[in-house]
Structure 1
Amino acid sequence: MNSTDMNAIVLDRFGAAAELTPRRIPLPAVGDDDVLIRVQFAGAASWDTEEREGHYDNMFGIPTTFPYVLGWDAAGTVAAVGRNVTRFDVGDRVYAATMPAARGGCYAEFVAVEAEFVAHVPDRLPTDQAGAMAWDAVTALSGLDTLGLQPGETLMIFGASGGIGHMAVQLARHHGARVLAVVSGDDGVELARRSGADHVVDGHREDVPAAAREFAPDGLDAALVTGGSAAAEKALHTVRESGRIAWPNGVMPVPATPPGVTASAFDGDRSRTTTDRLNAIIEASTFQVHLAGTFPLEQAREAHLALAGHYVGKLALSVS
């Protein structure tokens, strides 16, 4: 490491996308249990806009200090490791799910992340896809775990063309479930089909409950909801009595679920146990992350404007 500072995108106060500012800031400190990642690609996610506007301020019991660096997902190469870290060597290709509130985020040339939450990038996965993957993929896998999904069961994924959704389609199909994907737009239909969904319905143009009843005449076994809406709540009535419904914490509005089903909110598990399982699936399947757009780091404002519009899959920042 030849320099003590790095390029980053910072916030000096909460607000609109215009508050995202390029700046040189100090490199993050590397603790004994940390991995310092030289970031090549970072995920730009819908929750980044919420955080940028201040909606996460003090959410994790940590007061926001400025300048603040957004970014929960990254992939790149190991630049340094703490003295207790033995799983990684300098130069290894890795990805990570982090929490910016505590350490500073991934909209920067370097990010320090506890080794527990860092994973090797599977050989068959490109680094740009890995950079936008971590939180969505572990959330999708955690959702399927919460549902207790079994091979042969029927699963409706609401929001199946989004980041979590299109990854959940692939993970559920790998697990042997039959998947009904509810998406938005022609591009969403195409992505869900390419992801392996057994049947795809455009929630803005088609009758989702009718499609669900045709797909599972005795009722769906389970549903994963990645975005709250009145349409989602209506569709959930096609889950059979004693079926299961799950959604990640943060989905708003919280779905109103029909009586007789098991309803669960959950958090994504970013621990090594989950990323080891995820990597095994990636290596054994055709899993991929759909990138709708990649922006240079200095165009983070433009990326945030794109987050407010229609896109499918994920957006990413190219850092180095």
Structure 2
Amino acid sequence: MNAVVLDRFGGPEELSLRTIPRPEVGEDDVLIRVEYSGIGSWDATEREGDYAGAFGVPSTFPYVLGWDAAGTVAAVGRGVDRFAVGDRVYAAITPVPRGGSYAEYAVVEAEHVAHLPGRMPAAQAGALAWDALTALSGVDLLDLQPGATLMVFGASGGIGHLAVQIAKHRGLRVLAVASGDDGVALTRRLGADASVDGRREDVVAAASAFAPEGLDAALVTVGGATTEQALSAVKDSGRIAWPYGVYPALSTAPRASVSNYNGDRSSAATDRLNAIIEAGGLQVHVHRMFPLDEARDAHLALREHYVGKLALRIA
């Protein structure tokens, strides 16, 4: 199969397109013929070698990146009964130890594969799984009642723009802290009750105007000094959801309680996610789609300003 691989960790120039063996299918696995793959900021971190050994498995080369995929089931293991060859699916993958989705085929445990809802285009679903499940897990963790106020910090990014939509689906009032005029416009289009440019505007003042008695909660997708200042607008009794992997970490503890978490990628979680999609409550904003042979350019684009997601078109 064709795949973009690393023969060593490093910069975008280390990515190369070539032919490698198709991954083997285990008893509980699904082999996906990949059509689209999401590109995450963490892909660059992984490309540079910062995840080497982090998953308890030694890194081996050629190394295939890619945590999200959408496509068609090409084969299933003997223990798999939820999927059949030809099913349209999307998946949350871990590239270690068997390779990711920057390839024509990817193998995934069936537990982390979901049927593709008819309302979700495959080009969007390819960039969906990890960010959407992280957003959903954060909103679930906060457990807010309809009408409660939620600040989504980093609301025009991959996780954030999906969190805005999931929160609105739950009946929450959402203050979106976005990046740039295009980020503010995106979050408004996706239903945020109020949007503010976190780079140029006073977020604390905007939060105070939005929720004079204090915000009920916040979901944070990017750290830093502006984030910490903004969290002062969450009431003392409020809650803050902070996914593992969001940096920089807090330097001082806010008054509200902070809960760190990982995205749930179980079949139960994707069932909940699919219910939101089927209700028309979710779309993935793909800022730019790159062909597989332009993966280096895609990684260079990760360094630039963009909103939503970047993605690869595999087939």
Bin the TM-score by the shorter chain. Answer: over 0.9
Deviation at 1:258, TM superposition (A): 4.7
- The residue type paired with residue 82 of structure 1 is G
Q: Tell me which residue corresponds to 1:3.
A: none
Deviation at 1:145, TM superposition (A): 1.4
Q: Residues 13-63 of structure 1, C-alpha deviation per residue, up to 9 Å, x if partnerless? A: 000000000010000010010000000000011000000000100001111
- Given that residues 218 and 231 in structure 2 are in contact (C-alpha distance below 8 angstroms), is that contact kept between their aligned partners in structure 1? yes
Counterpart-to-counterpart distance in 2, 1:90 and 1:190: 41
Structure 2 residue matching 1:102: 3-state secondary structure? coil
**1:13 is the counterpart of 2:8:** yes
Extract unaligned runs of 5+ from structure 1: 1-5
Q: Tell me which residue corresponds to 2:154.
A: 159
- Given that residues 169 and 281 in structure 2 are in contact (C-alpha distance below 8 angstroms), is that contact kept between their aligned partners in structure 1? no
Q: Tell me which residue corresponds to 2:103.
A: 108
Select the residue among 293, 299, 312 that pairs with 1:304.
Answer: 299
Select the residue among 225, 229, 237 that pairs with 2:224.
Answer: 229
**1:89 is the counterpart of 2:78:** no
Counterpart-to-counterpart distance in 2, 1:86 and 1:62: 29
- The residue type paired with residue 264 of structure 2 is D
**1:249 is the counterpart of 2:244:** yes
Mapping for residues 1-320 of structure 1, pairs under 5 Å: 6-256=1-251, 258-320=253-315
- The residue type paired with residue 128 of structure 2 is M
- Given that residues 174 and 285 in structure 1 are in contact (C-alpha distance below 8 angstroms), is that contact kept between their aligned partners in structure 2? no
Q: Residues 91-143 of structure 1, C-alpha deviation per residue, up to 9 Å, x if partnerless? A: 11100001001220000000000000000011011001000010000000001
Deviation at 1:285, TM superposition (A): 2.2
TM-score, scaled to structure 1: 0.97
Deviation at 1:259, TM superposition (A): 4.7
- Given that residues 257 and 263 in structure 1 are in contact (C-alpha distance below 8 angstroms), is that contact kept between their aligned partners in structure 2? no
Structure 2 residue matching 1:246: 3-state secondary structure? strand
* Distance change (3 Å), C-alpha of 1:237 and 1:258: farther
Extract unaligned runs of 5+ from structure 2: none
Structure 1 vs Structure 2: percent identity of aligned residues? Answer: 67
Structure 1 residue matching 2:186: 3-state secondary structure? helix
Deviation at 1:229, TM superposition (A): 1.1
Counterpart-to-counterpart distance in 2, 1:21 and 1:220: 47
Counterpart-to-counterpart distance in 1, 2:10 and 2:278: 41
Structure 1 residue matching 2:108: 3-state secondary structure? strand
Structure 2 residue matching 1:157: 3-state secondary structure? strand
Counterpart-to-counterpart distance in 1, 2:129 and 2:197: 26
- The residue type paired with residue 65 of structure 2 is L
- Given that residues 236 and 257 in structure 1 are in contact (C-alpha distance below 8 angstroms), is that contact kept between their aligned partners in structure 2? no
- Given that residues 166 and 281 in structure 2 are in contact (C-alpha distance below 8 angstroms), is that contact kept between their aligned partners in structure 1? no
- The residue type paired with residue 240 of structure 2 is I
RMSD: 0.9
Q: Residues 204-233 of structure 1, C-alpha deviation per residue, up to 9 Å, x if partnerless? A: 111100000000000000000100010010
Q: Residues 124-183 of structure 1, C-alpha deviation per residue, up to 9 Å, x if partnerless? A: 110010000100000000011121222111000000000000000000000000000001
Q: Residues 223-250 of structure 1, C-alpha deviation per residue, up to 9 Å, x if partnerless? A: 0010001001000000001100111101
- Given that residues 236 and 258 in structure 1 are in contact (C-alpha distance below 8 angstroms), is that contact kept between their aligned partners in structure 2? no
- Given that residues 237 and 258 in structure 1 are in contact (C-alpha distance below 8 angstroms), is that contact kept between their aligned partners in structure 2? no
Counterpart-to-counterpart distance in 1, 2:254 and 2:234: 10
Equivalenced residue count is: 315
Counterpart-to-counterpart distance in 2, 1:198 and 1:91: 41
TM-score, scaled to structure 2: 0.99
- The residue type paired with residue 296 of structure 2 is R
Deviation at 1:253, TM superposition (A): 1.1
- Given that residues 43 and 131 in structure 1 are in contact (C-alpha distance below 8 angstroms), is that contact kept between their aligned partners in structure 2? yes
